[in-house]
Chain A
Amino acid sequence: MSNFTALLASGLANGAIAALAAVGFLLTYKATGVINFAQGALITLGAYIGIWVTQKNGMFGIGALDLVPGYIVTIAIMFVVGIVLERLAYAPLRGRSVHVVVIATLGAAIALQALIGLWQGTTPRFLDTPVGGDVVRVFGANVSTQRIVIIAVTAIVVTAMILLFQRTQFGRQLRATAADRDTARLCGVPVNWLSMLVFGMSAALAGLAGVLLGPLGVVDLNLGFNVMVLGFAAAVLGGFGSIGGVVAGGVAIGLVQDLFGGEVAAIRDYKTTLPFVLMLVVIAARPQGLFGRAASRRL
């Protein structure tokens, strides 16, 4: 039983990681219709900035920040990075089809990843966390406190996002911009400001994901990419675009990976492939996602 609970807790935490990675690119997707393939590189960047501001000399030699203020500074820096990225790689392509922007985000991902490598080298680094390596016992199972933090933060972020989209004028404007940018502009929606803001927020979420996920293992150049593809799997399961759905999708892949992969000996070695297997099955059987609705296609 305790083994089961431990796997359940671990699965929930892994699902929360995928969901946390996914909310960032879902935000830009919902507002602009673009899948930002640079999200992974942004998560990596967030983790490295987190290390940078909290290490011994701190950023620009101003000394180390405490962890929590350091995280906040990281998220603020990432917000600015997002705006810069929007200006450089997205704004010049405005009015082009979503495909050109997607390929531009691929270019941004390649460039950003290389830039991080140049800046920080390829040696894996470590990021600290206020809760350290603590472990709490949940129903008789040991779960690292960091994972509990991740679950809690993901819950807060997702709730905030849903409220933002459904209940605020800002959310309505975002949805209107996504549906038809030109019409939204004609109705007085400040679309340029919105897209800067959205890219900033999305990068800030990547920064948040980076500083929260970094301490779970080592921080290296592939950190962001790996969680981003998990995020894709969660988003596909959730019907791509639904923020509530991505949480369900994340929990589904987390549980499949840890419960199924953990209990069945034959595939235990390959359990990290299970989220993707599940994703492929879903795309094959229900291209609109487990929790999504079929979109009708017109000629």
Chain B
Amino acid sequence: MSDLDVEPAQPVAAPERTAAAAGSRTTDARPPAMRGAPYLSLAIFLVAVALLRQYGDFGLGDADLVNTWLFYSVIVLGFYFVFGVSGQFAFSQAAFAAVGGYTSAWATREAVFGTDTFWVGLVTGVVVACVIATVFAYFMRRASEFYLAIATLGLSEIILEVLRRWTDFTGATGDTTSGIRPISIFGLEITSFDSYRIFWVWLGALAIVMLLAIWVSRSAVQRETIAGRDQHLVASTLGVPVLNKRIAMFVLGSAIASASGAVFVHVKGFANPDSFDITLGLGIFVMLIVGGLDSRWGPIAGAAFYVFVPQWLQGGVLGISGPTLTIHIFGQDHRAGDFRDIFFGALLVVTMIVFPAGLVGIGRLVRAVTFGRVRPARRTWFSDFLGITPRRGEAAEAPRPPESTRLPPVSATARAAAQGGDATPAAGAPILEARDIRVRFGGVPAVDGVELSLYDGEILGLVGPNGSGKTTFLNALSGVVEASGRAEVLGTPIRLGQPGRIRAFGVLRTYQAPQTYAHLTCLEDVLLSTPDRAFTGMAASWFVRPAVNAHERARWNAARHALEQVGLAALAEESTARLSYGQRRLLELARAIHAQPRALLLDEPSAGLNATETDQLARHLARLKRDGIPILLVDHKLDFITSLCDRIAVLELGRLVAIGPADTVFSDPRVIDAYLGVDEEG
């Protein structure tokens, strides 16, 4: 392992970890997520579609198909945010299209706001859908993924049933609402049989939604949503507002669905709840998965496949002649289109087994092969989610290096480094103070009234036999488990039982097993802990691009600097899945550096590290301490602990049995009895 070489050799001039200082070195480099030319690709795509529509040789049927394709692309893009980015199993997309469509029809028919303009109807429909989606998502926040799926099915049933019955609102006779006002743009009326103008409306809608998607991906929103999706507790303790992102994505997807529903209804001139039933809901699911759910192009590709392929199979589409299949079954001849759903049902299964990244994934593979840049098998969150990620060439699940039975001594340099600073804890008010913290699992007290204070400039070790409540104590402080007691950061009480609460006060924690995000690059992973949370919201990503870009750039540079400090700069743009176990530990350390925390709570940071790596870790911790960051350090390696820590606290059965400098504590008979006397390793 060459980790030793990467360790920067200048202990002096530990640079200020600020964006400005780091920026001086790398300001010219654009952050990876800001590279590429998404606007250009989008423009080329839109122009190509427009040219095809303008000069393509096809009839009215095909023109309608193109419009259907664009409609599906828009509504599936909405679902891309909900399921693709945010991982929420929702079947409600079609029902929200119905909400948008019917509300818009109602608002224009009744001239609710004194006008029957389509745009007012559209906005009304979207606002109503957003309200419903927000309330729903908020109340379903504790639902597991299958419960959410079932809940969205229930919500769809309720919405469609209400629309079937509430004729005062829908203005329907029988099942169908008719006479809905056409869209009018600059005085041009777009009637239901004018498929040419309808095309432009849909193309414009698609352009807008694609722009939203680009902006979301070029801001903090996308990576933070992904972090919340893959490991929500870790994301919260890093400071990501997980629930906000989840709700925002659900509402965004539902709003896009409702807008597309409004356009759909006004373009058709009539509405029927059956157009929005579960058939459309399942179709949306199929289109996204077949198209590829980790790219904004997936929905467009999937919708094209869904709309055009069956048509091609029964004679041709868009001027391309097809095979004109007829199949004789059940005593009748059937055209290929009749098998569409059987085909897509089967394709859904096949896609997941064979190419979980969908058509977009196939496209990437073709491009890689064509241009000779074969990249390793693409791992998507979805393939992980499904447990079908290819195992080849992956370091993520590398076995932990065996822990030696005898702990290796921490080197003299690390020891010196640790004691080099002002080793005595500074007097004065504690940074972090815990009073009477209690956690019970069932009837068993896991943490039983622990009192601890962490002072400025110290490393406080927390040791104890397995099951003594060390991790649970950290969990209590960071709100991961329900706990009682008081915790204060710099004298301000913080509420327990809320993950991420303590992070808002500048305290960062790590977990026993390294928690890195396989679907983010190392840089993105480090960025999750950013102390600068300005302009990380979704609205900001759309409306104040310059500020978002400036802040993102500063954050990227700071994160890169943190990676340099731990020696991972060369891997900055690689997926964290490619890191070894030890490197993932270092990545967590980079996160901690980037976070500029008031205090750190580290849970067994040396677990699974070999002697060299432990040594390296010790030096990093010593440096953090010199930079003025107090650390609460839970660990099992006693040499590591004693060489680093100014004070050591010992837990046994959830109670604090001793606290003080290492030599005092370890000569305490209670500690010897409780901890050192027990041969726990067997």
- Restricting to A93-110, which residues have a CB under 8 Å from any CB of B? 93, 95-97, 99-100, 102-104, 106-110
Contact between A110 and B348, CB atoms less than 8 A apart: yes
> What 4 A-B pairs have minimum CB-CB distances, sorted nearest first?
A111-B345, A114-B341, A107-B348, A97-B387
Q: Which residues does chain A contribute within 8 Å of B330, judged by CB atoms?
A: 118-119
CA distance A160 to B151 in the complex (A): 29
Interchain Cβ contacts under 8 Å between A and B, 18 examples = A97-B388, A100-B352, A100-B353, A100-B386, A102-B146, A103-B348, A104-B349, A106-B282, A106-B285, A109-B282, A110-B341, A112-B345, A115-B342, A118-B339, A236-B150, A276-B157, A280-B158, A299-B480
Cα(A112)–Cα(B282), bound, Å: 13
B4 interfacial by beta-carbon distance below 8 Å: no
**A284 contacts B153, C-beta separation under 8 Å:** no
Cβ of B394 under 8 Å from chain A:
no
Do the beta carbons of B346 and A284 come within 8 Å of each other?
no
Q: Tell me the nearest residue of chain A to B234, going by C-beta.
A: A299
CB of B143 within 8 A of CB of A107, answer no
The reply to whether A279 and B385 form a contact with Cβ atoms under 8 Å apart is no
Cβ-based interface call for B637 (8 A): no
Against A, the Cβ 8 Å flags (1 = close, 0 = not) of B165-178 are 11000000000000
| B-chain residues with CB within 8 Å of residue A163 when the two chains form the complex | none
Q: Does any Cβ of A come within 8 Å of B29's Cβ?
A: no
CA of A225 to CA of B153, assembled, Å: 11
Chain B contacts for A240, CB-based, 8 A: 147
14 new A-B contacts, CB < 8 A, other than A108-B345, A109-B345, are: A35-B150, A100-B353, A107-B286, A107-B347, A110-B342, A114-B342, A118-B334, A118-B342, A229-B150, A232-B154, A270-B166, A273-B162, A276-B154, A280-B140
Q: Are B349 and A229 in contact (CB under 8 A)?
A: no
Residues from chain A with a CB closer than 8 A to the CB of B345 are 107-112, 114
* Chain B positions within 8 Å of A269 at CB level: 165-166
Interface residues of A in 160-214 (CB under 8 A from B): none
Q: Is B339 a contact partner of A270 (Cβ separation < 8 A)?
A: no
Binding site for A on B (CB under 8 A): 136, 139-140, 142-147, 149-151, 153-155, 157-158, 161-162, 165-166, 233-234, 278, 282, 285-286, 289, 329-330, 334, 338-342, 344-349, 352-353, 385-388, 480, 511
Shortest distance between the CB of B487 and any CB in chain A (Å): 20
Contact assessment for B348 and A104 in the assembled complex, using a CB-CB cutoff below 8 Å:
yes
Closest Cβ of chain A: how far from B90's Cβ, in Å?
Answer: 13
Question: Which chain A residues lie closer than 8 Å to B145 at the CB level?
Answer: 99
* A283 at the B interface (CB under 8 A): yes
Chain A residues bordering chain B, tally (CB within 8 A): 43
Interface contact B233-A233, CB-CB below 8 Å? no
Q: Does A244 contact B (CB under 8 A)?
A: no
Question: A131 at interface (Cβ–Cβ under 8 A)?
Answer: no
Contact B139 A284 (CB under 8 A): yes
Q: In the assembly, what is the distance between CA of A236 and CA of B155, in Å?
A: 14
Proximity bits, A269-293, B CB within 8 Å = 1, else 0: 1101100110110011001000000
State whether B352 touches A103 (Cβ < 8 A).
Answer: yes
Known A-B contacts A104-B352, A107-B346, A225-B278; the reply to A97 vs B161 at CB < 8 A is no
- Docked CA distance A276–B152 (Å): 10
> Chain B residues near A287 (CB, 8 Å)?
142-144, 147
A172 vs B504: C-alpha distance when bound (angstroms): 48
Contact A100 B388 (CB under 8 A): yes
Q: A107 to B349, Cβ gap below 8 A?
A: yes
Which of these, A93, A115, A236, A273, contacts B353 with CB under 8 Å? A93
Tell me, in angstroms, the Cα distance from A108 to B143 when the chains sit together: 25
Cβ of B604 to closest chain A Cβ, rounded Å: 14
CA gap between A107 and B342 in the complex, in Å: 9
- Complex Cα spacing A153 to B233, Å: 46
B interface footprint on A223-237 (CB within 8 Å = 1, 0 otherwise) = 001000100110010
A113 at the interface (CB under 8 A from B): yes
The complex places the Cα of A114 from the Cα of B145 at a distance, in Å, of 27
A118-B330, A299-B233 known; A283+B151 contact, CB < 8 A = yes
Alpha-carbon gap, A97 to B384, bound state (A): 9
Q: Closest chain A residue to B387 by CB distance?
A: A97
Q: State whether A96 and B386 are in contact (beta carbons under 8 Å apart), knowing that A276-B157, A284-B140 are contacts in the complex.
A: yes
Contact of B161 with A229 in the complex, beta carbons under 8 Å: no
Which residues of chain B are near A102, meaning CB under 8 Å?
A: 146
Give the interface centre of A102, A117, A279 by most chain B CB atoms within 10 Å. A279
B residues near A236, Cβ cutoff 8 Å: 147, 150
In Å, the complex CA distance between A88 and B271 comes to: 39
**A residues near B, CB below 8 A?**
35, 89, 92-93, 95-97, 99-100, 102-104, 106-115, 117-119, 225, 229, 232-233, 236, 240, 269-270, 272-273, 276-277, 279-280, 283-284, 287, 299
Rounded to whole angstroms, the CA-CA distance of A92 and B147 in the bound complex is: 25
B313 to chain A, nearest CB (A): 15
Nearest opposing residue in chain A for B513, CB measure? A299
A283→B348 CA distance, assembly (Å): 29
Residue from the list A100, A109, A114 in contact with B339, Cβ < 8 A: A114
Known contacts A118-B334, A273-B162, A299-B233: A110-B282 contact under CB 8 Å = yes
A106-B285, A118-B338 known; A277+B158 contact, CB < 8 A = yes
A106 with B151: in contact, given A118-B329, A283-B140 (CB under 8 Å)?
Answer: no
For A111, give its contact among B153, B154, B338, B342 (CB under 8 Å).
Answer: B342
Set A96, A106, A232, A273: member contacting B161, Cβ < 8 A: A273
CA distance A233 to B151 in the complex (A): 9
Taken together as a complex, chains A and B put the C-alpha atoms of A271 and B165 apart, in Å, by: 11
Question: Quick check: B158 and A273 within 8 Å, CB to CB?
Answer: yes
A residues near B347, Cβ cutoff 8 Å: 107
B157-A280 in contact (CB<8A)? no
B154 to chain A, nearest CB (A): 4
Chain A minimum-CB-distance residue to B385: A99
Bound complex: CA A281 to CA B35 (Å)? 46
Tell me the nearest residue of chain A to B350, going by C-beta.
A107
B143 to A276, Cβ gap below 8 A? no
Q: In the complex, A165→B344 CA distance in Å?
A: 36
Q: A92-B353, A114-B340, A277-B158 in contact; A232/B348 too (CB < 8 A)?
A: no
Q: Which residues of A contact B166 (CB under 8 A)?
A: 269-270
Which residues from chain B contact A109 at a C-beta distance below 8 Å? 282, 345
- The closest CB in chain B to the CB of A119 belongs to B330
Which chain B positions have C-beta within 8 A of A273?
A: 157-158, 161-162
User: Hey, which chain A residues are within 8 Å of B150, CB to CB?
Assistant: 35, 229, 232-233, 236, 279, 283
Please report the C-alpha to C-alpha distance between residue A272 and residue B166 in the assembled complex, in whole angstroms.
13
B154 touches A229 (CB 8 A): yes
Residue of A nearest to B148 (CB): A283
- B-chain residues with CB within 8 Å of residue A106 when the two chains form the complex: 282, 285, 348
Q: Which residues in A have their C-beta under 8 angstroms from that of B157?
A: 229, 273, 276
Output the nearest chain A residue to B471 by Cβ-Cβ distance: A299
> Which partner residue on chain B sits nearest A115 by CB separation?
B342
Q: Which residue of B lies closest to A226 (CB)?
A: B157
Task: For residue A108, give the distance in angstroms from its CB to the closest CB of chain B.
Answer: 6
Closest CB in chain A relative to B647 CB, distance in Å: 28
Closest Cβ neighbor of A120 among chain B residues: B330
Complex CA distance for A284 and B347, rounded to whole angstroms: 34
With a 10 A CB-CB cut-off, give which of A95, A277, A283 has the most chain B CB atoms.
A283
Which residue on A lies nearest to B159, using beta carbons? A273
Q: Do A99 and B151 touch (CB < 8 A)? A: no
Which residues of A are found within 8 Å of B144, using beta-carbon distances?
Answer: 287
Q: Taking the nearest CB of chain A, how far is it from the CB of B476, in angstroms?
A: 14
